[in-house]
Amino acid sequence: MLRAALRGLAEMCDEPDPFIFPELPDEAAAALDHFLEDFLEDFYNSFQERYGLQLYCYYRAIEERAARHRPMPSTRLPLQDPPF
């Protein structure tokens, strides 16, 4: 029974690689690399321009909620070591 469960778990983990790339000549790989680098940079910059403030507000609200639930630091003075 355990063996069957482990086999089923192993089969679940054997998902196919979603990125199967064909063999490319060197020049084609370099051109594709350049295109993707430019495209992704432009996409990321446009994404940040459009959603940057929204994301800032979202993460700031999460941090503020977390800060409200943190325990307050102790106001007692730390014990001082006696001089030796």
Share of the chain above pLDDT 90, in %: 52
What does DSSP assign to residue 25?
A: -
Mean of the per-residue pLDDT values for the chain? 84
Report d(CA 41, CA 38) in Å as an integer: 5
Q: Which residue has the higher pLDDT, 19 or 45?
A: 45
Report d(CA 30, CA 38) in Å as an integer: 12
Structure tokens at 76: 């007692």
The residue-averaged pLDDT of 66-73 equals 80
What value, to the nearest 5°, has the Cα angle with vertex 69 and ends 66 and 71? 120
- Amino acid code (one letter) for 24: L
Instruction: Give pTM, 2 decimals.
Output: 0.51
Name every residue whose Cβ is closer than 8 Å to that of residue 63 and which is 6 or more positions away in sequence: none
The residue-averaged pLDDT of 48-60 equals 96
